[in-house]
Structure 1
Amino acid sequence: MTAHPTADPPWTVERMPDLTGTTIIVTGANSGIGLEAARSFALHGAHVVLAVRDEHRGSDAAATVEGSTEVRHLDLADLASVRAFAENWHGDIRVLVNNAGVLVPPFGRTRDGFELQFGTNHLGHFALTNLLLPYLTGRVVTVASSAHRTGHIDFDDLDWSTRAYRAGSDAYAQSKLANLLFTLELQHRLEEADSRVIATAAHPGMAATNLGSGTGNAMLKLVGKIAVRWVAQPAVAGAAPTLYAATAPMPGAGYAGPSRRGGMAGPPVLVDRAAAAEDRATAARLWSVSEELTGVAFPW
C-alpha cells in the first residue's frame, strides 16, 4: 500500500471540523471502528445514527458515546430491512459511512439468497446508498480493505454457487474489491449528475476489532489473534482513516488508509489501490449487475 507523500503534519482526529447541526449515519456502529468513528463524530457535534442489526447491542454502544446519538435497525443481509430503513428516513445526511461487514464466516447466504459476504459487504450498502442519496449533502464513505488486492469479480459466479468456498477469504476479497469499484462508479455518476456529494473510501489497516470473530477458519482465527496482539493498532486508530475520508480534504473516489508499517498502522493519508480497483469498465458492469440484483438504481 503506497502512501502519498505529504509535507503537512500527520492528520489527527483533532483536525476534524465542527459538525454541529449535521447528521451522520454509521452502519455497524455497535463495536470496533464503527463505534470509534461514531464517538469521534459525536464529540465534534454531529448527531450520529448507529445503524445496526442488533438494537440492544446498539443501545449499549450508544450509551458509551458522549453526544447526540440514535439507534436504528438495519440488517444489510436483508434488502427488505435496507428498504425499510430508507423509507423511514427523513432529513439531510451529511455523511453516510458504509462500515458494517462480515469477514470470512462459514458459507452462508443473505435472506435474498446472495453469498453472505458479497450480499452484506457490497449489495446491502449499494442499495442503502442509492436509496439515501437524495438526502445526502456531503459524502459517502465506504470502508474497504487491503484484501481487495487479491480480489477478483467473477461475474459468472458472484454467489459462489459453482466455486469451492474454502475458507471464504476469496469471497471476502471479492466483496472488498467490489466496495472500491462501487466507490469509483458512484463518484463518476455523482459528477455526471452535477452533485456536490462525493464518494470516498477508507481502510483501517490492521485494527484490533472483533470483525473476524465469526470466521469459521480456525487457522485464520489463530493468525488474527496473534496479529492483534503484536501488530494491530487499537480500534480508535483504525477508525482514523474513516474519519479522514469523511471530513478531510479528499478528491472524489479518494482512498484513505494508514501511512506506516506497510499500510497496517499510522496516521491516515491518501493511499493507492490495486489496478483492478481502478477498472472503469468493471466498475460500470458491477454497478449494472448490482442494480439488477437489488432492484435499486441510481436516483438521478
Structure 2
Amino acid sequence: MTGWNASDIPDQSGRTAVVTGANSGIGYVTARELARHGARVVLACRSEERGARALERIRAEVPSAVAGFRCLDLADLGSVRAFAESYARDEGAGDGLDLLINNAGLMALPHRQTADGFETQFGVNHLGHFALTGLLLPRLLRTPGARIVTVSSAFHALANIDIGDLNSERDYRRWIAYGRSKTANLLFTHELARRLAATGSGVVAAAAHPGYAQTNLQAAGPKMEGRKVAERVMWLGNRALAQPATKGALPSLYAATAPDVRPDSFTGPRVLGWQGAPGRSWRAKWTLNDTASERLWEASESLTGVRYAALKG
C-alpha cells in the first residue's frame, strides 16, 4: 500500500522533541525517526535501564542522532514535576520546545493506583500527560511552529468519560477504564486546541492513534497478573494481525511533522482504523463535546494542581 511514510518526514534540523514512553514500541520508533530527520530528541521514560538501552539503540541505528534520556514516571506527579524542573534547569530559561509527543500509555490493567491515588490508566494515560504538557507549555508557546501530539486509541469508542467517577471508584472494568482514558486524551486535545486558538497561539494540539500495532502494550495486563494463556493469546494476535511498530508510529509522526495537520485533528491508519498509511481517523462525537472537555479540564487542573495560567478562558 502506498501513502505517507517515514521517508516523507520534513527536515527536523534545529528542532527539539520530547517523546514519552520512548524506550519501546511506537514511542521508540517515533523518537528514532525524528532523530533520523535531524531533531534533537529527549527520551522520557520511567525505567532508567530501559531508557538507556533505547538510547544506545537509537545511536547505533542513527549514528548522527542527537538524543538524550530523562527519567519520567507518569504515575507519579512528583516525577512529572521533577522532569519539568530539571528540563528547565538544563535546557536554559530561554530555550523553546518544538514537539511534545504524549505517547506513553497503559492498557487494560488490573485495578491499581498511581502514587497520587488515581486509577492507574486514567492517571498515566491522561493526568500524567495533562500535567506534563502544562508544565512544559511556556516553552512550547514561545516556539514558532510547536506541536503537541497526544496518542489516543481507536478503543476510545468503548466508553465516554464519567465526570462524576473519573477514577472508576464505583465500578472498575479494565477495558472500560482504558476506553475512558483514551477518550480523555481526545477531550484534552479538543480543549487544548480551543484554548490555544482563543489566545491566538500558533501551537498545534493534535491527536493520533496507531491502529493495531505490535507492541508490549497488549500483553502487559495479563503478564502483570500471571495469566500465561491470555498473555500468549495477545502475543499470537500481535504476530497474526498487528502491523509492526514502524507502521504504528506513522500517525504520530504525521501529526508531529506533516505540514497540513490541523488543530484538534485525529490521525490514524487509513484501513478501517487498523493499519496502513496515516490519514484522518473517525472519532466518537462525545470527544468533540465542548462542555465535557471543559469539565474534564477543570477537574484535571484540580486533581494535578497544574494550572494552565497562560490559557485561561
TM band (smaller chain): over 0.9
How many residues get paired? 289
> Would you say 1:246 and 2:244 are equivalent positions?
no
RMSD: 1.3
Give yes or no for contact 2:30–2:253 (8 Å, CA) kept in 1: yes
> Would you say 1:96 and 2:100 are equivalent positions?
yes
Greater relative contact order: 1 or 2 (C-alpha under 8 angstroms, separation 6 or more)? 1
Structure 2 residue aligned with 1:154, among 158, 162, 165? 162
> Would you say 1:282 and 2:282 are equivalent positions?
no
> Would you say 1:39 and 2:32 are equivalent positions?
yes
Secondary structure at the residue paired with 1:288? helix
- Structure 1: distance between partners of 2:232 and 2:49: 29
Q: Which amino acid aligns with 1:185?
A: E
Structure 1 residue aligned with 2:270, among 247, 256, 259? 259
State the 1:220 CA deviation: 5.6
What's 1:85 paired with? 83
> Would you say 1:115 and 2:108 are equivalent positions?
no
What's 1:6 paired with? none
For residues 79-118 of structure 1, the C-alpha deviation after alignment (integer angstroms, 9 at most, x for no partner) is 0111111112232111000000111112100000000000
What's 2:12 paired with? 19
Q: Which runs of 4+ in 1 moved over 6 A?
A: none
Give yes or no for contact 1:142–1:183 (8 Å, CA) kept in 2: yes
State the 1:227 CA deviation: 2.3
What's 1:209 paired with? 215
Q: Which amino acid aligns with 1:106?
A: P
Secondary structure at the residue paired with 2:81? helix
- Structure 2: distance between partners of 1:267 and 1:220: 30
- Structure 1: distance between partners of 2:43 and 2:283: 29
Q: Which amino acid aligns with 1:104?
A: A
Give yes or no for contact 1:208–1:234 (8 Å, CA) kept in 2: yes
- Structure 2: distance between partners of 1:26 and 1:284: 26
- Structure 2: distance between partners of 1:169 and 1:50: 28
**What runs of 5+ residues in structure 2 fail to find an aligned partner?**
none
Give yes or no for contact 1:134–1:299 (8 Å, CA) kept in 2: no
Give yes or no for contact 2:147–2:206 (8 Å, CA) kept in 1: yes
State the 1:299 CA deviation: 3.1
- Structure 2: distance between partners of 1:27 and 1:54: 12
- Structure 1: distance between partners of 2:292 and 2:181: 14
Give yes or no for contact 1:133–1:299 (8 Å, CA) kept in 2: no
Secondary structure at the residue paired with 1:207? coil
Secondary structure at the residue paired with 2:147? strand
For residues 124-144 of structure 1, the C-alpha deviation after alignment (integer angstroms, 9 at most, x for no partner) is 000000110111131000000
For residues 33-68 of structure 1, the C-alpha deviation after alignment (integer angstroms, 9 at most, x for no partner) is 000011100000011000000111101001111211
State the 1:223 CA deviation: 4.4
Secondary structure at the residue paired with 1:153? coil
Structure 2 residue aligned with 1:126, among 130, 137, 157? 130
What's 2:186 paired with? 180
For residues 255-295 of structure 1, the C-alpha deviation after alignment (integer angstroms, 9 at most, x for no partner) is 100011x1110000111211111111101110000000001
- Taking structure 2 as the reference length, the TM-score comes to 0.89
Give yes or no for contact 1:118–1:175 (8 Å, CA) kept in 2: yes
Give yes or no for contact 2:206–2:263 (8 Å, CA) kept in 1: yes
What's 1:5 paired with? none
- Structure 2: distance between partners of 1:133 and 1:193: 13
Structure 2 residue aligned with 1:70, among 60, 68, 71? 68
State the 1:222 CA deviation: 4.7
- Structure 2: distance between partners of 1:21 and 1:284: 35
- Structure 2: distance between partners of 1:221 and 1:192: 46
